[in-house]
Every structure is written in C-alpha cells, then in structure tokens.
A and B are shown apart, each in its own frame.
Chain A
C-alpha cells in the first residue's frame, strides 16, 4: 500500500482524471472530496461489503426455493 501524508486542502491525483482532496479534519472524521469521471463508481466500502453479505444471504436462501410461495402469502391467509 502506498502511504502518503496530506494536509487539509492538499490532493492526490490518481491516473489522468481522479483527484482526491482532503477537505478538512474534525476530530476522528476526515472529509474527502473526490473528482472522478461519472462512469467510475465511487462507493463507501461498507456499502459494497453490505451488498456482498446480502448476495451471500441470497445465495443461501436459494437452497430453499420451496418456501417462497408459502412465505409470500398474506399474513393470516
């Protein structure tokens, strides 16, 4: 991993068109501004991880497809 030290207001450039700027540091929180082409997705890592977990859960659920129709019924039906 490349490690760089930056101060608020300073930036890092990745490739031709990605700029990551440290906007401010407030206690434990660091505000970061990212300039990137629209086609390049930028996500919080937790969101990608949550999607991963949800997909794994969905894959486990696929082992019991016979429960689907039953569970979709209206409560009390």
Chain B
C-alpha cells in the first residue's frame, strides 16, 4: 500500500485510495463508499466530509449489456489479483427531474486492496450522460430518450 496515507490504520481501512484522484476533483484522493438506505445508490464521501461527495450506482441492473475491458496498466495500478475483488459503479447526476449516469467513465474499486480509479473509455464517449430509469429498461445501449416524468 502507498505510504502517503497519513490517517490512522483504522481510518485508512475505511477509505479507498484513488492514486490519481478524480478528474475535476483533483485535490482529494481518499473516499469512503456508503450505501444509501432504501435505494440502489451509494454515496462516495471525502474524509470528514471535507469536500463534495459523489453519488454512485451499480450500472449493471440498469444496463445489462454494459461491459468494458480493464487495460493492463489499470490492472497494475489497482493491484488486481482476482476479478472478484473488483466492484464497478458509475457516477450519477441529477438534472431537473431526470437522473443520468456516466457509462463513459466508470469507477473501479479493488475491495481487497482499497484502491480505486475512474477509468475513461474513449469508445463510450457518447455515453457520458445516459438517462437512468428504473432497472431493466427495454433499450440497453444508451439510446434511451430523456424520459419526461410527470
């Protein structure tokens, strides 16, 4: 594990380290992930809630066909030993009354090593803002129309 983390051991365990930070939120490299009770979302928080958090969702129930290849360099950075240690979430934005998620830049967590990285997928650059509806939408490749809710 990188020696740069200066929190006490017990606190460190709770946090994932993003060695490269997150694009746009470069200052912070440590986040913890907590489930939001009663819905499929997670919130990713900075230590002591010192700065903005992010909302995450497990994209697979919503987009069953979603998959991507984790490059060798990313595997090394995340110290991947077993696929089962990996968890993938995508970020969620709220715009008016519509939810969107970013399938072009999933966040990959190595639960065993407490390392994480936001991966940028150039081949999905048209899926930065995909409308997020209830799980199991009929269309599955980001072609969903922005749903008008009443």
Contact = CB atoms under 8 A, between A and B. Distances in A.
Interface residues of A, number: 34
Contacts of B41: 65, 68
Interface stretch (B1-9, B69-77, B79-87): B69-77
B105 A39 contact: no
Nearest to A57: B93
B72 A39 contact: yes
A59 B73 contact: no
B122 A44 contact: yes
B24 interface: yes
Interface in A21-77: 37-41, 43-44, 47-48, 50-65, 67-69, 71-76
A38 B150 contact: no
B48 interface: no
Contacts, number: 112
Contacts of A57: 93, 95
Interface of B: 22-25, 36, 38-41, 43, 52-55, 71-73, 76, 91-95, 97-99, 102, 104-105, 118, 120, 122, 125, 128-129, 132-134, 147-150
26 contacts: A37-B73, A38-B71, A43-B122, A44-B122, A47-B104, A47-B120, A47-B122, A50-B104, A50-B128, A53-B24, A54-B93, A55-B24, A55-B105, A57-B93, A57-B95, A58-B92, A59-B25, A63-B52, A65-B55, A68-B39, A68-B41, A68-B92, A68-B94, A72-B99, A73-B134, A75-B150
